[in-house]
Amino acid sequence: MASSYRRMFRIHVPSPTVVLFGAVIMYCCASVACGDEHAQKALIEAYRTAESAHQAESLSIKLFQKATTAELLSMQTHENSGIALKAAWTLAHREIVKRNATRDDDWQMQRFLGFLEGRLRVEIPKFLQTAKVYQHSESRTWFLYPGSEPGTLPMRPQPDWPELTHSKDGSIWTLVDGKDRIEVDVPKNRKYHLRNLALIGVSEKRIFLGLPLNVGSPFGIRCFNRKKGNLEWIAGVWADGGFVRHMGLGMHRFDLIEHDGEVLVLGVCDLALYIASYDAETGEARFRFSTRY
């Protein structure tokens, strides 16, 4: 009986070889995880510093489209708002595709816009608040928003803001700010479109002028010193990335907001919803976000 009792409670002590093998396996797993973490950090940095929309799109596929839900949730807290917004949009887009959501079933879109507003700490324009997804695929999204219906008038500046005027032939453009007049150098290919689509943003010290096309192709913004009237900087907005050569008229709405030392460009067009942030003093890009790249 005693012998049987001892057999029942005998403790098996693994050999040193087994212990060593287990330790090696654990070390290898930790190394792989560590390597994955370093690889992801490198990919995030490459995406953050991408020099073009095409480069960003290629990196976006690796970083966001192939990421797990847990990885995307983690990236939503990233210090760079472009990374956080892209992670949040990727999660929203997956759910939209999974549920085959329609424009009337837009709670994921509204949830994303709430995240966007909270992250930027600004009130987003009304045309963004009411933007809807009207078509989607595994990797693309098309948007519907106020102003995208035919015959809708484009946005105009506020009544007390500087006025943008032009000569009859469109060769001379002038910002009229009270008694001050600021001449604007406008690219030739933008003169026709500016008559309806140029947008002005104003702060106490600066005037921002957006020079878009009537579609979401990349465009430029100019910053003028409001007191001196001189051009301080020019920055490029990637918008929908320029992946598509647009034919004919399209729809494009955006706004310019200076907030907490940065200039935010918030826009939406048929093919993308996008945001770009620039340093108000220098025009240096702080972050970019687009549903397209």
pLDDT tens digits along 126-183: 889 888 888 888 778 888 876 655 434 344 455 566 777 777 766 677 878 777 788 7
pLDDT surpasses 80 at 89: yes
pLDDT surpasses 70 at 1: no
pLDDT surpasses 60 at 109: yes
Going from N- to C-terminal start, the domains of the chain cover 144-290
E strand spans, 179-261: 180-184, 199-202, 206-211, 219-225, 231-237, 252-259
- Cα dihedral 104, 107, 109, 113, rounded to 10, equals 130
- For residue 182, the model assigns a pLDDT of 80
Query: Quick check: helix, strand or coil at residue 281?
Result: coil
Closest CA to 40 of 66, 11, 15: 66
Closest CA to 173 of 156, 188, 161, 154: 188
pLDDT surpasses 80 at 236: yes
Which pTM was predicted?
A: 0.78
For residues 179 and 251, what is the distance between their CA atoms, to the nearest angstrom?
34
The domain 144-290: what is its CATH number?
Answer: 2.40.10.480
Question: Comparing 141 with 283, which gets the higher pLDDT?
Answer: 283
- For residue 175, the model assigns a pLDDT of 79
Encode pLDDT of 5-21 as tens digits: 444 444 444 555 544 44
Encode pLDDT of 118-138 as tens digits: 999 999 988 898 888 888 887
User: What pairs with residue 269 in β-bridges?
Assistant: 252
pLDDT surpasses 90 at 90: yes
- For residue 231, the model assigns a pLDDT of 92
Q: Can you tell me the mean pLDDT for 19-39?
A: 53
pLDDT surpasses 70 at 65: yes
As a whole number, the mean pLDDT across the chain is: 80
